[in-house]
Amino acid sequence: MDKKLLTILHCPITHKGLAPAPRATLQAVNAAIDAGKLQNQEGLALTEHLAEALLTDDGKVLYPVADGIPVLLATESINMEQLG
């Protein structure tokens, strides 16, 4: 993802900065998806693995990236407390 783009993107919910999710985070998210334990903010169960995502600076909210495009919709966000 373009570094310049990342400097202007912010979470629409918390207004925190966003950064690419680390590989370990994506692995944990994908494992939770496989286990059927992860939902987006809309309450829909996630069924497809995330190859790429953006994580807020505080690590609490994750946004999927689809075909290189960040999906910064509040309903599509993932509350990371579900993994705890």
pLDDT of residue 84: 77
**Per-residue pLDDT for 27 more than 90?**
yes
pLDDT of residue 41: 96
Domain boundaries, the chain: 3-83
In residues, how long is the chain?
Answer: 84
The percentage of residues in the chain with a pLDDT greater than 70, rounded to a whole number, is: 99
**Per-residue pLDDT for 65 more than 80?**
yes
Q: Read off the DSSP letter of residue 23.
A: H
Coil, strand or helix at 78: strand
Question: Cα separation of 7 and 73, whole Å?
Answer: 18
Question: Is-contact 11 63, C-beta < 8 A?
Answer: yes
Single-letter amino acid, residue 63: Y
Nearest alpha carbon to residue 50 among 34, 59, 42: 34
